[in-house]
Structure 1
Amino acid sequence: MASPSLQRRLGLGDAVFIGLGSMVGAGVFAVWGPAADAAGTGLLIGLAIAALVAFGNATSSAQLAAAHPTSGGTYAYGRAELGPWWGFVAGWGFIIGKTASCAAMALTFAAYAAPSGWERPVAIGAVVVLTAVNWFGVTRTASAARVIVVISLGALAAAVTAAFSAGAALGWLSAETLWTGGAYGILQSAGLLFFAFAGYARIATMGEEVRDPRRVIPRAIVIAFAIAFAVYAVVAVAVLGSLGPAAVAASTEPVADAAARSGWAWIDTAVRVGAAAASLGALLALIAGVSRTTFAMARERDLPRFFDGVHPRWHVPHHAELVVAAVVVVLVAMVDLRGAIGFSSFGVLLYYFVANVAALRQRGDARRYPAALQILGGVGCLVLAVTLPWPSVAAGAVVVAVGVAYRALRLRFGRA
């Protein structure tokens, strides 16, 4: 019996918007506080390091996706290039990291959109609604991503304009202030900021649903990454220039606080609408990406066969989407937003480490980028992972060990 498969419906524009919906998500509104707390003004160096490592990862993902245009992203690439265990570790790291990200995005949406005291119920409602959007087909996912990205970028443009109109300047920036956080603090901020750039993986995980994937996926990944980096760099300068590093570190809503310095009466509403939309865009793409990786792992029997079901009408992995949504709902009721960022970064850095090793192994026509980029990406992933806040590292290591133990037992005692 043939393995279940998905339909190719997405073009270049669709793939770029899905990637942007993941990268220009709640992270651009929420990640500055933890990063400034770790490194102060040095978060700008952290942002550059995160972007450099992420670019190495992005080119590795693009090179691999062109050679292996199937669902599952680095899970599938690791299996094909390095072997089943490498693929499993990558897939499991992605699932645990991005499931935590789903909860973080839902909670961020509710923080901006829900009345006081209703944050968690509203977050749960958002998960349910966006799971329904994904259920009715990937083209609806892409259409929703376009609308959400436009709203998010519009709100960010207004917030940055407001911050600079209020006198945001670069007087705080000097060679000395950039190093106030020290090397460790800067690396920790880079690991936290990496959370913001990991969305290009969503394009690769949906490789089985992209038309002409060998051409479209590499282009979409690089385009989405370049746009996202430009957005983050501009927002970082505006927020630091308006508030200063200490105030950014103390703020839970630094973009809104920076924009509020303008005194424009409408700007708070605009930023909140943009933050809510960005969170929804990231959550929409995350649910799609996690469910596709779960589907791919089940198809190879690394997860129970139940998860490889494909809806006969809508052609989506509906069993995987339902279970992912249920787990996210449970997490929304339990997790802390800032802790979820570190935990997510640990799982995703592990995922990209495998991607870089797999891309480094490719030879001949499959090679599109210099091997130095893959070495940079792989080493960078390991360094950033171990310099994350220690609770995130400890929790991530434990959950990865649980997954490894599950697969070892399944291989010994029979398939799921």
Structure 2
Amino acid sequence: MDTSVGSANPDSPRLKRSIGFYGLMFVSLGSIIGSGWLLGALNAATVAGPASILSWALTAVIMMTLALIHAELGAAYPVAGGTARFPRIAFGALAGFAGGWVAWLQAVALAPIEVEASLQYLDNIGWIKEHLNLLHPGNNTLTLSGFAWATVLMAVFTFVNLVGVKMLAESNSATVLWKVAVPVLTIVVLLYLRFHPGNFTAGGGFAPAGAHGVFAALPVGVVFALQGFEQAVQVGGEARNPQRDLSRAILTAMVIGTIVYLLLQVAFIGALDPGSVAGGWSNPIEKGAFGPYATLAIVAGAAWLAYVLYVDAFVSPAGTGLLYLGTSARLSYALGKDKQLPEALGKLSIRGVPMWSILLSFVVGEIAFLPFPSWQSLVSVVTLATAIMYAFAPVSLIALRRRDPDRPRPYRTPAAHVLAPAGFVAANLVIYWSGFDTTWKIMVAIVAGVLLFAITYLRRRPADRPEVAWRSAVWIPPWLLGNLLIGYLGRYGASGEIGVLPEWVDLAVVIGFNLAIFYWAITQAQPAHKVHDAVEAERVELQV
């Protein structure tokens, strides 16, 4: 039986439905456990102290809520680049582009960022630093040699993706087994050899920065580390049995990732030198060339573990880069296929992969290797873009339940009418906690994307232009600008905010404003017949 899908023309190349449950689960888990684990615990502890454990728990609740929502959408509408397609089906072309654009921005940026992180870690090995000279001293930007090696890595990722999604899934699965084993091994060793219970009340008590610290830790690396469950949704159009496997894969990956990160934070805090945190948490440990865990392993007398971590410092970022090059290509494929970007991006090769979208991700990656800030400084920006992407899913879920009620839903989000608005609010709280100084940058990027959408739209013949559906997208500008204003008046971020809103009152304002936007947005969804037409346009790709 032919299990491939694609465009409305049955004779054209189709996406190959060849990924099973474990492949889907490893795609999500490989994105969740990436380079973020190497510094996530340190960044969170620096901001929140021992209460950083609560930061991880809160993030896990937020992400699990959003994962439950994505699980239903992915199983009901198993298409490539799902996070761009769900709002497109529910709210029309403009809303779909807005959701897809921010999703593509964060995904396409992560592959080159992770490659550069891998090279930064490699450059700390003496003989590599001496013979390859990958980075300029001082600013850690790539030398000509470093650019060449980064290009080689990106070329390898591109080749794997061009060969086909089956090779992508299989190569990723082997990498993920390593990526999960190393953090688990680190947890066991540190808990056994070096654990100081007193650290959990040192340096000002369990929560030296109060609730503010718990919330502020989320955008400095906690959300960044736990994001990625939606990657299985992005390759949903290539899942062998999406109705059965997508929801299970997403939720399984989320549970495993949550347990690993919570235990990593506990092990990290317990393994610190009590003297280094007695006076506060501003500098609990030097992160070291390969992250703080390598330093802790050496102090604990497990130097062998440090060498394992040296290898992982390259493997984890590289494995994540491989995945995000592929998923960013699925997002631009979705935008091209739905005529929101040039149609060439929505074309498939004879191997059933979005060749031009993959090559675009490679080209953007090469541009990103220019002397831009390191991946650590981009964590908050990527986190914010991800939160905006996630926020489109809850409104799409309720809108599609109302407008497309007869659609088979193999998995149904429990208490969706509670979890959907809660998930929307949670995503917007992450936006608020990211701070005004980060939010305005993403808003500029969204405006640039809308201009690109307008240029693409106007260059098409009138008969080929997608219906913009202005009315269905009318809620998006007030939503984004309202959150930008609240961020400016709020209490989070390095600069730009003025602190007008008192503590806790600011959270109430965020919650109240975004609940109003949520319920307004679902009333603006496309009429049922237009939703039906949008689903019908994906009929061939939805076939399983």
Under a length normalisation based on structure 1, what TM-score does the superposition of the two structures give?
Answer: 0.93
| Shift in CA distance, 138/402, structure 1 to aligned 2, threshold 3 Å | same
Kept in 2, the 8 Å contact 1:155–1:273? The answer is no
Report how far residue 250 of structure 1 moved. Answer: 4.8
Quick one: distance in 1 between partners of 2:386 and 2:450? Answer: 16
Q: Is it true that 1:383 corresponds to 2:411 in the alignment?
A: no
Once the two structures are superposed, residues 351-382 of structure 1 have per-residue CA deviations (whole angstroms, 9 ceiling, x without a partner) of 00001111132435644321222222110111
| Shift in CA distance, 330/409, structure 1 to aligned 2, threshold 3 Å | closer
* Within-5 A mapping of 1:17-416: 17-114=26-123, 115-116=128-129, 117-119=133-135, 120=142, 121=146, 122-174=149-201, 177-191=205-219, 192-243=221-272, 245-248=281-284, 250-251=286-287, 253-312=291-350, 314-333=351-370, 334-363=372-401, 364=405, 366=409, 367-371=412-416, 372-412=418-458, 414=460
Computing the radius of gyration from Cα coordinates, the structure with the larger value is 2
| Shift in CA distance, 402/8, structure 1 to aligned 2, threshold 3 Å | same
Kept in 2, the 8 Å contact 1:238–1:258? The answer is no
Kept in 2, the 8 Å contact 1:40–1:249? The answer is no
Quick one: distance in 1 between partners of 2:90 and 2:283? Answer: 47
Report how far residue 130 of structure 1 moved. Answer: 1.5
Report how far residue 90 of structure 1 moved. Answer: 1.2
Quick one: distance in 1 between partners of 2:44 and 2:434? Answer: 11
Greater shift after overlay, 111-120 or 72-81? 111-120
Kept in 1, the 8 Å contact 2:297–2:303? The answer is no
Report how far residue 173 of structure 1 moved. Answer: 1.7
Quick one: distance in 1 between partners of 2:450 and 2:206? Answer: 40
CA RMSD, Structure 1 to Structure 2 (Å): 2.2
Q: Unaligned 5+ residue runs, structure 1?
A: none
Greater shift after overlay, 170-179 or 207-216? 170-179
Q: Tell me the amino acid that sits aligned with residue 379 of structure 2.
A: I
| Shift in CA distance, 360/181, structure 1 to aligned 2, threshold 3 Å | farther
3-state secondary structure, aligned to 1:31 = helix
Q: Tell me the amino acid that sits aligned with residue 166 of structure 1.
A: L
Q: Tell me the amino acid that sits aligned with residue 134 of structure 2.
A: W
Once the two structures are superposed, residues 11-38 of structure 1 have per-residue CA deviations (whole angstroms, 9 ceiling, x without a partner) of 0011111111111111111323333333
Q: Tell me the amino acid that sits aligned with residue 316 of structure 1.
A: V
| Shift in CA distance, 259/15, structure 1 to aligned 2, threshold 3 Å | same
| Shift in CA distance, 31/102, structure 1 to aligned 2, threshold 3 Å | farther
Quick one: distance in 1 between partners of 2:166 and 2:375? Answer: 30
Report how far residue 73 of structure 1 moved. Answer: 1.5
Quick one: distance in 2 between partners of 1:278 and 1:358? Answer: 33
Quick one: distance in 1 between partners of 2:47 and 2:106? Answer: 21
Q: Tell me the amino acid that sits aligned with residue 44 of structure 2.
A: A
Quick one: distance in 2 between partners of 1:159 and 1:172? Answer: 18
Greater shift after overlay, 139-148 or 327-336? 327-336
Under a length normalisation based on structure 2, what TM-score does the superposition of the two structures give?
Answer: 0.72
Quick one: distance in 2 between partners of 1:247 and 1:267? Answer: 23
3-state secondary structure, aligned to 1:199 = coil
Kept in 2, the 8 Å contact 1:20–1:199? The answer is yes
| Shift in CA distance, 390/259, structure 1 to aligned 2, threshold 3 Å | farther
Q: Tell me the amino acid that sits aligned with residue 433 of structure 2.
A: T
| Shift in CA distance, 369/85, structure 1 to aligned 2, threshold 3 Å | farther
Greater shift after overlay, 246-255 or 271-280? 246-255
Once the two structures are superposed, residues 88-128 of structure 1 have per-residue CA deviations (whole angstroms, 9 ceiling, x without a partner) of 11111111112222233112222223433415424343222
Quick one: distance in 2 between partners of 1:250 and 1:346? Answer: 27
Quick one: distance in 2 between partners of 1:246 and 1:162? Answer: 25
Report how far residue 227 of structure 1 moved. Answer: 0.6
Quick one: distance in 2 between partners of 1:269 and 1:166? Answer: 17
* Bigger helix share: 1
